[in-house]
Every structure is written in structure tokens, then in C-alpha cells.
Chain A
Amino acid sequence: MTAPLLELAGLTVDITTEDGGTRTLLDGIDLSLAPGEALGLVGESGSGKSMTMRAVTRLLPRGAAVSGAVRYDGAEVLAMDAGALRRYRDREVGLVFQDPRAHVNPTRRIGAFLIEALVRNRGVGKREALARAAAVLAEVGIDDPQRRLRQYPHEVSGGMLQRVMIASVLLAEPRLILADEPTTALDVTIQREVVGILDRLRRERGMGMVFITHDLDLALAVCGRVAVMYAGRIVELRSADTLHERAAHPYTLGLLGSRPSIDERAQRLTAIPGRPVSAFESGPGCAFAPRCGFATAQCETTPPALAEFDDGLVRCSRVEEIHAARTEATA
């Protein structure tokens, strides 16, 4: 058992509102990521998947109060001073976002963008930095990297720019990649290439990756383990290989039933009624209870704990009954 690269324990994020009240956005997230592992965080709006990533890098909105622990390689991120935090963000963590265009300076060439951190923070010579940038561009499957280095962001496509972003992350040689919906804005064929590149590089370089997405099937394709989030909590955590067969939480089951299949037309999709809520909108009991077909009066009042079930973790007090009923129905 190797020491985890990243460990979240009881991570909670509250936001102070206008009237002085607090709103919970994340409620007790426990996660650990081994070096070289890929972990998926899947959820809908308000689930807290992006907030988790923000908490890991301490890029939180003003007025946010964080409690719990974020440990990177044994060091407590939440306790880091400014210098340590900068080193951690600069060298250890690489971030890939949904919209690469919002994260590059449109007036600077791709080459200048890529070498900036190397030259400024690491004291690498310009010529050397450009050579490294070209090598990394080639590594993310960009032809003719010399020409790309001289181009401006608006001259390349979204898929190409996302590869440039990945290249810029690689230049820092981080040990952890946080990818927040990195392919959502891309076409499926480009998405396939980009996740392929992320996956190959992760393996080659032994980087840990947290892959955040709303697309459960994509997460299953990219990651070894997948955590399904709902209303600021993890509701199910399980190996990607078995999630389709063994999904036990009613919300995970609902997500699987909601997604239309490319292979056949469903008579009717098993949609989940209602809409996804944020942690602060949920009641005292199970956050999913109001939308859950299996909920009882007790579910509304008593919050379930994340407990082991069928080789995974599930946050549902009725999981065993539901599982039994489903096995019976299919048998």
C-alpha cells in the first residue's frame, strides 16, 4: 500500500451569505488518490465536483470557509503559507479547464504562453524553454510544433488549444493533474483524442489525475475509480470496471437510466424526477430523498453515512433492501 498522493478528509466548504448565514457547498468529502491513479468525479450542477477541485488548489471564492483536511504528499494544503502554496500550485498541480480560451492571454503567442512559467519561475533559458515547449507539443500530438509556437490562440481550434493547455501543464512536470470538464466544449472525435492524450501521458509519467465530468460514461472510460457526487457529498464510489453492473445508490442508478443509449431506443428513459440541488438546499436527511423512488420517511430525517457495500462505498440507508429487491426483479 503506497502512501496516497492526495487525500481529502472531511473536506467541507461553507460560504457566507449576504444576510450573514452560511451555505454549505461541500459536506465532508473523503477521498484519496494514489500516485499514478485516475479518479473520476461525476455529478450534475450543484454537486460540488468543481468546488472540490477548487478546494484542493485553494482557489475558492471570497467568503468561503474550508474545514477538514487536504493533504498532498503528506503536507496539509490548507495550512500552507503563501510561498509553499505557490510552489505547490506551480510545480505539483496542473489544472486543465473546460474553456481553454478563457485561460490564455489572446494577445500573446502560444510559445510565449508556454515558456512564461519556465523562464520566470525556474530560470530556464529562453532557447532551452522553447525547445522543451516544442517537445511537449509534439508529445500531445501536435504536428509542426515550431509553427504552432509562433501562432496566436485565435489561430488554432478549440481542440488544438486544449492540447496546448495540456502541454503547458506537462511543462511544469506536476505529479497531480486536475481536469475540470476538459473535453465538454469539444467535439466527440476531438474529445476522444484529448482524453487519449491525457490518459497516455498520465501512464507514461505516473501522474495522478482527478477527472471531473458530468458524463458518467466518459469518466468510466478514463478513470480507474469513479466517485458520484450529489449535493456536495459523495454518494457512491466504485471501480470503473464494475460500476455499470454493481451501481447500488438510487442516484447512480438514476443517472445510468437517464442517459439514452446509442445502440437502441429506450421505450422511455428512467428519468429522475425533480432537479439536482446543492448541499445547502437539501434537508436534514438524505439529500437525494425528495427525488428518490425508494425513500421512506426515515430517509428524509436521518442522513445516511458512506458505507462499504458490494466492493464499493455507498451513501444510502436502504441500499441492502434496494439491492435485494433489484436482484429479485431481474432474477
Chain B
Amino acid sequence: MNAGNAVEVRGLSKHFKAHHAVVDVDFDVPAGGSLGIVGESGSGKTTVARMLVGLERPTSGTIAVMGRDRSAPARGARERGRRARELQIVFQDPYTSLDPSQSARAAVEEVLRHHGRDLSLTQQLVDQVGLTERQASARPRDLSGGQRQRVAIARALAASPKVLILDEAVSALDVSIQAQVLNLLADIRTETGIAYLLISHDLAVVRQLCDTVLVLRRGRVVEQGDCATVLDAPAQEYTRALREAVPVPGWRVSA
């Protein structure tokens, strides 16, 4: 075990009956680091995230977060709480990832109370994610997509995790809102030293937020390494194709 790693994944596989969703995946997220997992639909990237947070059980392989193994389901409330304080997640869809009857404040307070933290932190978290007083007391249905995603981030941070998984967390947002949230996430990382594991199909978003990147295809690792190296000089044909398909300034469909 390397003490410098917040997350260590070795030989991780997940089979759904005959379908091999994830096959023998290895990666590390350094403490305070930021890893992007990139892949298209069916690459297994979301399954990896769900196994890390314990929503799916790995078929084989090991997962360690903050040096503690979590390959097997948690036993008891204490263990569940401890895992929650190590690793949190923000989901893609801001419309279904919040309890419709809970305001931002109530959601954050519930989590703080659960983890025995000081309730006065609520205000700090609400401010940190840039929600106004009114937004913090509103039900999710009265908030826009970007505001809801801020609530989801505040709720995740309320457990004071060492690692945050962002599962396509900015993909459903409008471009101008996406930029706000990306800036916010960068600020939070600077302030708290939290590590990110960003699951995304969007290479530009990964480049903006991550230090290292891992390319997944059909459940297998295609290549991984430093973000700039992999994206600027891909070693694999697939990574190159992925990169070249992204519309950039000057890119024309008709050659």
C-alpha cells in the first residue's frame, strides 16, 4: 500500500451474467489528486464508480480507499459511516439526485448530523458552493439544474470526504453553468485538498479538472497517464480517434 494514494484499485472486474462490464482495471488516485476516467457509453466507467461507493459489488479485484479495503460490503452502521466519510459521489442528473421534499439546508444538515459534525457548518457549506439564502431554503423543484448540482455537491462535502467521485456531474448542465460549476470544483479542491475522480465522456472537461486520465473501452483500460501526455500525444489508436472526434475551433465535418 502506497500511503500517498487516496484510492487504489487492483484487478477490478464486474460481470453481469455473461456481460463483462469491467475487466481487470487498475488505477490509483493520489491523495489530493484528480483522475479522469474517460469512455463512451458501455465503457464501464459508471460501473467502476458504483463499485467504488458500494452500490455494486465487484466480481473480483480489490478497492482500497484511504488505505482501507472496501471490496466487500460494509458490515454495520459504523463501517458504513466511516466509508461515507472517506468517499462521496455526485451524480449526473441534477433532477433526480436530490430528495424532492428536502431543501438544500435540510439535506446538508441531515448529513452533518449523521456524521456527528457541527451543524453550524451548514452555512459554510451553503456559502462554499455559492447558494444564496433563498436557494438554500428552496425545494429542489424551485431550483435550476446548476443550483441543484451545487446542492448535491454541498451534500457530498458535508460528510467531509477525502475523495469525491463526480459521475458526469457537469454533463447535464448548460455550457455557461457548466463553467461555473467547473470553476467551483477547482476552487473547492484548492481550498480543501480533496481528491477527485471524474467520470466523463467529455475530454475537454477532463482536461480542465484532472491531472491524470484513464481511457476505458468496453470495460478495459486502453491507456492511462498524465492528462497532458495522453491527450496531446495519445499512444493508442482509440484515444486518438476519441480526441479527433471532438469538435474544436477550425474542425469541419466536410474535409
Contact = CB atoms under 8 A, between A and B. Distances in A.
Q: Is there a contact between chains A and B in the complex with CB atoms less than 8 Å apart?
A: yes
Interface of A: 44-45, 158, 187-192, 195-196, 199-200, 203, 214-218, 220-222, 244, 254-255, 257-266, 268-273, 275-276, 291
B205 A199 contact: no
A160 to B, nearest CB: 13
11 contacts: A188-B40, A188-B201, A188-B242, A214-B175, A218-B247, A221-B253, A261-B208, A262-B207, A263-B232, A271-B176, A275-B146
A69 B178 CA distance: 35
Nearest to A187: B40
A222 B251 CA distance: 9
B180 A188 contact: no
B56 interface: no
Interface string B123-166: 00000000000000000000011110000000000000000000
B184 to A, nearest CB: 9
A258 B179 contact: yes
Contacts, number: 114
Nearest to B43: A187
B210 to A, nearest CB: 9
B2 interface: no
Contacts of B76: none
A222 B201 contact: no
A269 B183 contact: yes
B252 A216 contact: no
A142 B145 CA distance: 37
B242 A262 contact: no
Nearest to B144: A275
Interface of B: 40-41, 144-147, 174-180, 182-183, 186, 201, 203-205, 207-208, 227, 231-232, 241-254
A196 B254 CA distance: 7
B144 A262 contact: no
A260 B208 contact: yes
B248 A262 contact: yes
A44 B175 CA distance: 7
Given A188-B245, A189-B242, A276-B176, 6 more contacts: A44-B175, A188-B246, A215-B247, A244-B250, A254-B176, A262-B248
A265 B146 contact: no
Contacts of A263: 207, 231-232, 248
A78 B152 CA distance: 45
A220 to B, nearest CB: 7
B204 A260 contact: yes
A275 B208 CA distance: 21
Which 5 pairs show the lowest CB-CB distances between chains A and B? A258-B179, A271-B179, A260-B208, A187-B40, A44-B174
Contacts of A190: 40
A264 B207 contact: yes
B175 A262 contact: no
B201 A217 contact: no
